[in-house]
Amino acid sequence: MEFMKDREIRRFCYYLTAVLAAASVMGFVVWGVCGRLIEGAILAHDRAVAYALLEQGVSREVTARAFAQKNRTTAGEDLLGQIGISEETDILLLPDFVPVQKKALPLLAGLFLFLWGGILLGTGMFFSGRERIYKKAVSVVERFMEGDFGEHLPRAKEGSLYELFGKIDSLAKMLSAQKEEVCASKNFLKDTISDISHQLKTPLSALVMYNDIIAGEAQDAEAVIGFSQKTSAALRRIERLVQSLLKITRLDAGAVAFEKQDWLLADVASKAVEELWVRAKAEGKRITLAGAEEVKINCDLSWTVEALSNLVKNALDYTPEGGEIEVAWERMAEMVRISVSDNGKGIAEEDYYHIFKRFYRSKGVQGDSQGIGLGLSLAKSIVEGQKGTLSVESGADAGSVFTMTFPG
């Protein structure tokens, strides 16, 4: 019986059982008292009859035999009938039993009142308590409907009702989490749109200006070529921004299915830096690879190359001329670790906790100043999407070390 798990119902049933048990005991007591009253009335009646017979001169022997007589006779029934006593006569209406009735009726009435009063009192208290619980539940649910999830339904008790309350509370928690997620998504979308607008504003304004200059200097071939190159650079910046945003959006939406295979880490590192050798040489910087040739990593090649390449680009941005960037890897007990270190000036304290935020760019960038502030954020999303981690260690004027770890 599932309903008996409810503590209030159990208490109510125990209460009714106690009332019925007490009423039963009282009933037995009243029954005994009434029996003794009836016995006393019958004995008093017999005494009165015996006294009347003796007064009329009937001998004691005849009187005793009369009281000892057990057989019913027609003559006896006729005699009693003549004085108004028959089987249909209510014994309690006889004069000798009127005192019995007066004493027994209050006892029976008290028993009746105790029984039904106890039942009605317990029932009223039970349903009154239930009504308070239901009103509380309705109030809390109404708050849930208004978006206020600060209160909770009664819980920590057994029973189907509280099980239902628990389910509703769990649903409310899910709705609250979804509400927070929606709010966070709205805020993120708002900030992202603001950042995109800011990022696009500069190259678009430059494009408009370059086109105006080209239109005004149509006869100056050298000026047209120069500003056409600047226009191309601005367009490439916009292209990089759009491509990076599309990649991050796909990762956030879970629309990327990583195709993991075993790859030699040496090959992964080589692919990540093959397009950066020329830039490093032009900026007077050196890229080195360090790690065992046989070490393998289980990953999605193209996405992992993207993440590692972004870390190397970031190192080039913040490493001065003559600096060195090292890409190293090693296999550990249950993981593979890849690190990108540089000997630049390191990450400023005010930038340390913001570097993985989208569109965040710290001051003091070296070389290519056309970065869009999405490289590190994209790298972190790629690594974490493959169940890995991306962390950084840095100190003032001590360079930085970005470390990717993948389950191995």
Which one of 3.90.1150.10, 3.90.1640.10, 3.30.565.10, 3.40.190.10 gives the CATH number of domain 261-407? 3.30.565.10
Query: Which pLDDT score is estimated for 163?
Result: 72
Provide the pLDDT confidence category of residue 300 given band limits of 50, 70 and 90. very high
Please tell me the predicted confidence (pLDDT) of residue 369: 47
Give the pTM. 0.54
CATH number for the region 160-252 comes to 1.10.287.130
Q: What is the rounded CA–CA span in Å between residue 167 and residue 47?
A: 76
Which range is least confidently modeled, 26-35, 123-132, 206-215, 351-360? Answer: 206-215
Q: What is the pLDDT of residues 274-292, one digit of tens each?
A: 989 999 999 999 999 999 9
Instruction: Using the predicted structure, report yes or no on whether residue 104 has a pLDDT greater than 90.
Output: no
Domain range list for the chain: 2-145, 160-252, 261-407
Distance (Å, whole) CA 56 – CA 46: 15
Could you check whether 160-252 and 261-407 share the same CATH topology?
no
Which residues in 90-230 belong to E strands, given as ranges? none
The percentage of the chain sitting over the pLDDT mark of 70, rounded to a whole number, equals 85
Q: What was the pLDDT predicted at 243?
A: 80
**Cα atoms in the Cβ-side hemisphere of radius 13 Å centred on 252:** 12
Q: Above 90 in pLDDT, residue 127? A: no
Digit-coded pLDDT (tens) for 186-197: 887 777 677 667
pLDDT bracket for residue 368 (50, 70, 90): very low
Mean pLDDT of 216-228: 73
Residue with tokens 């001169």: 57
Of 386, 376, 317, which Cα lies nearest the Cα of 345?
A: 317
